[in-house]
Amino acid sequence: MTAGRGFMALAALIFGKWHPVGALWACLLFGFLDAVAIRLQGAVLPVVGEVPVQWVQALPYILTVVLLAGFIGKAVAPKSLGIPYVKERT
């Protein structure tokens, strides 16, 4: 995937604790953060003023890393991860 979305997809899978419904909610959260970053481009914030575009574009990735830092120890990967599938012959 382009534009770093693959990193966010893997982060959503880990953040969702390797469960499809959890990954769905994590993808919605990360998509919302990406939409907020797009919306904030060029906006003037009351306290800070105009935020550089590079900071706003980096916001979803920074928040992804922060969220993963808190949840990485609590998510246990499946035991079969990394074991190649061997098709049985009948």
The predicted-structure confidence for 10-19, as pLDDT tens digits, reads as follows: 888 888 888 8
pLDDT per residue as tens digits for the range 19-56:
899 889 988 988 888 888 888 777 787 887 887 888 87
Both structure tokens of 29: 């959260």
pTM across the whole model: 0.70
CA distances from 48 to 27, 34, 40, 43, 77 (A): 29, 20, 13, 11, 41
Token look-up 């079969």 returns 80
At 6, the amino acid letter reads: G
Question: Which residues, at least 6 apart from 57, have a Cβ–Cβ distance to it below 8 Å?
Answer: 37, 41
Helix (H) / strand (E) containing 44: strand 44-45
